Chains A and B, each alone.
Chain A
Amino acid sequence: MAYSEKVIDHYENPRNVGAMDKDDSGVGTGMVGAPACGDVMRLQIKVNAQGIIEDAKFKTYGCGSAIASSSLVTEWVKGKTLDEAMTIKNSHIAEELELPPVKIHCSVLAEDAIKAAVEDYRSKQGAAQVSQGGETLSAQVAH
């Protein structure tokens, strides 16, 4: 299969490979996919007090396009608010990496990974608020 130069670049020089402490309340972890399907992505985001994603790390088991898709989204989510990160669509990823039709699922998985990481972060925040006292929860969710 012929890969685009961008896929090869991310594959050969993956950005932001690594792990964060998944028990840290400021870290959201999203793991999507399944080994049996040939790809598993783990995206982690570190969110600061202002609600901005200040760092992102990934590890991916999967084909070159899956590795490139996850590497790319770690670059894209950095500096974004959670809501902004949630607007990243698989079509943007596929377009940027020039993925062929058989590899679109890799970009779908990367989008799912962002959503899962954000949800994980939000549910942790929610849980933290609940354990501190129920009243603040609604305020937290509303903002």
Chain B
Amino acid sequence: MSSSQIIELESKKPLLIDPDRPIYLDYQATTPVDPQVLEQMLPYLTHDFGNAASRSHAYGWTAEKAVDKARQQVADAIHADPREIVWTSGATESTNLALKGAAHFYSGKGKHIITLRTEHKATLDTCRQLEREGFEVTYLEVQEDGLVDLKAFEAAIRPDTIIASVLFVNNEIGVIQPMAEIGRILRAHKVLFHVDAAQALGKVPVDVEAIQADMMSLSGHKMYGPKGIGALYVRRKPRVRVEAQVHGGGHERGMRSGTLPTHQIVGMGAAAELAVQLMDSDARRIGKLRDRLLKGIQDRVEETYINGSMEHRVPHNLNISFAFVEGESLIMALKEIAVSSGSACTSASLEPSYVLRALGKSDELAHSSIRFGIGRFTTEAEIDATIELIAGKVGKLRELSPLWEMHLEGIDLNSIQWAAH
């Protein structure tokens, strides 16, 4: 680390304002470690480097104390007991442990699992694996606004349903599912409720009692903590059991073995506490920026479509489709801003976002969507620059677009027989 970077950290300036880099609007992909969080982590890499499992000397005790404090911080953030927190490497591992662990443990009771089509891949791919092992999974449709239909949800429950897994806040479109209602339904049917709250903590109140969650996946790097650390909440009363997926040493009460990464854990704990402290002020400020961005775009660009409910949505996310321009070229045109596209063109598959497809969006609109993730260090100047860029570049691409020309001529694109290729 160069000395100038250290000075920046010490003065606690946001680390992102850097004219040579694109404006960062991808806070749902990841967040920078908050300087206040980093400060707390650093001693545990050097001076306080002990192994929390070392019971016989002060090095171990210091690490254990730090881990206990962080466990309390994470538990407090979600209204849980510290004994209900299992450290993992991230929300992906937490979700694997929750779904595989509980499915294996309770497979004698039934083999059916319910989830949504718009879940994160951590859930969907784990469910696919469970299907290969002989479990049956229902991938429920969502409504046009991205929200689950509670009647359909309840109707999907069968006598052999053992687990349901629902994403609290969607990572692509930011919609908030009705978690308390879902929790009530599942508890009434004695179905275990796993919640992926990776995108929720710090953005909306998260309370495992209020929503009657039995398991909950959390991630450090989505809330200004470090990457490579996460947690799984596993309810004690009534007791929920998961079978370990990682063996060796019996750490975390046997649920997840491996030496605890003290600095990462300290970072996750500090980040969770800060996330709850700053939730309201962050949401107010970020909400204003989001409204400014939305209005700026809508005032300057025609034919834009918002993806997902605006009402049941975190202010940190805006997902918009720009009709008649293609997503990847838009991303290329917007190289001065770091955003994500619903177009998966960059990968080998040419399939557009499955989340937007699940909302019933046409492939074209799914391809041309941009996810703006606004965060703690976003400034008004960055939002204004983004509006300028979007207006200019979308205009330029539409001049290049035969579809835009046809639209201006009043031709209905759906009336055309396109050759498949």
**A residues apposed to B, CB below 8 Å:** 1, 3, 11, 14, 17, 19, 31-42, 59-64, 66-67, 102, 105, 108-109, 112
Contact = CB atoms under 8 A, between A and B. Distances in A.
A102 B348 contact: yes
Contacts of A36: 362-364, 418
A38 B405 CA distance: 16
Contact of B363 (A1, A38, A67): A38
Contacts of A17: 399-400
Contacts, number: 85
Contacts of B348: 102
B364 A35 contact: yes
Most buried by A among B347, B402, B413, B419: B402
6 contacts: A11-B332, A33-B421, A61-B325, A64-B332, A67-B400, A109-B421
B326 A38 contact: yes
B367 to A, nearest CB: 5
B329 interface: yes
Given A61-B401, A61-B403, A67-B400, A105 B421 contact: yes
A33 B419 contact: yes
B343 interface: yes
Interface string B402-421: 11110000000100001111
Most buried by B among A31, A32, A33, A63: A63
Interface string B317-336: 00000001111110010000
A38 B403 contact: no
Report the 3 A-B pairs with minimum CB-CB distance, sorted nearest first: A34-B418, A63-B328, A36-B363
B421 A60 contact: no
Interface in B205-231: none
Interface of B: 324-329, 332, 343, 345-348, 350, 352, 362-364, 367, 399-405, 413, 418-421
B419 A34 contact: yes
Contact of A40 (B345, B350, B362, B402): B402
A60 B418 contact: no
Most buried by A among B343, B348, B363, B367: B367
A42 B332 contact: no
A36 B418 CA distance: 9
Most buried by A among B345, B399, B405, B418: B345
Most buried by B among A3, A41, A67: A67
Contact of A34 (B329, B332, B420): B420
A106 B175 CA distance: 35
Given A37-B421, A38-B352, A67 B329 contact: yes
A108 B350 CA distance: 15
A19 B404 CA distance: 12
Given A19-B405, A34-B418, A63 B345 contact: yes
A63 to B, nearest CB: 4
B419 A32 contact: yes
Given A61-B324, A63-B328, A63-B345, A35 B363 contact: yes
Contacts of B325: 61
A66 B109 CA distance: 53
Contacts of B350: 37-38, 105
Contacts of B329: 11, 62-64, 66-67
B421 A32 contact: yes
Contacts of B367: 38
Given A34-B419, A38-B328, 16 more contacts: A14-B400, A36-B363, A37-B420, A38-B326, A38-B343, A38-B345, A38-B363, A42-B402, A59-B405, A61-B325, A61-B400, A66-B326, A66-B329, A105-B421, A108-B421, A112-B421
